Copies of this chain bind each other. A is one copy, B any other.
């Protein structure tokens, strides 16, 4: 059941606006552009994009999207990692995803956000006021096409997560999580197959529909079975990727 007792009260962040409107436009130097919907806009129109985007930093632990609030802005993460989550009244929490650089947030069609978002490490994002983004989409239909693409991708990921939450065992969930995280950090692989885990055990638990204790126990069990190694609490290296993968996909019916 896992009802959390009195989660710490979330203070609305006072975000730091970066280079408020002057200096070189931030979009042309944005490292996240390649992965994001913004790459639908050509170099020649980047200035237009930059006039709409409000670059903002938030500190770790700060919540910058509040479920139920009026959805006045869209967000595009450019660095750092945020967790997206929904709460039940007694404090039970489900993390629906982790948003890294390039992820676009705020596609709530209704007038309010359907989830909350909290920075895990230091997060920088571009904020787009809704009417201004609407106008932008009118002028750049290619961007709308990209938005549809990313929404479709997220939908596929969400279905995969439903399979995990509804039908997989704790071991399979953790294995799936590690495989997925490993795929994400493939481009920036430092050393062998070491995976950085910026989120806490509690976050992983709330993402996988488990408790902290079960996540921890499962990690040590996978370690004892030589499938992974755990150099530090915030990193995991995969020793037997094939074994982990077949676990994640639901073979190895034995527990």
Contact = CB atoms under 8 A, between A and B. Distances in A.
Interface of A: 1-3, 84, 86, 88-90, 92-94, 96, 107-110, 114-115, 141, 144-145, 147-149, 151-156, 158-163, 165-169, 206, 208-209, 249-251, 253
B250 A89 contact: yes
10 A-B pairs with least C-beta separation: A166-B209, A88-B250, A165-B165, A158-B158, A151-B151, A94-B163, A107-B152, A94-B166, A114-B156, A109-B152
Contacts of A90: 250-251, 253
Nearest to A208: B166
So how many copies of this chain end up in the complex?
2
Nearest to A253: B90
B159 A89 contact: no
A153 B158 CA distance: 13
A167 B88 contact: yes
A163 to B, nearest CB: 4
Nearest to A156: B114
Given A94-B163, A155-B158, 5 more contacts: A90-B253, A96-B162, A109-B156, A154-B155, A166-B208
A209 B167 contact: yes
A235 to B, nearest CB: 25
A96 B159 contact: yes
A93 B163 CA distance: 8
A37 to B, nearest CB: 11
Nearest to A255: B1
A109 B163 contact: no
A80 to B, nearest CB: 21
A147 B158 CA distance: 17
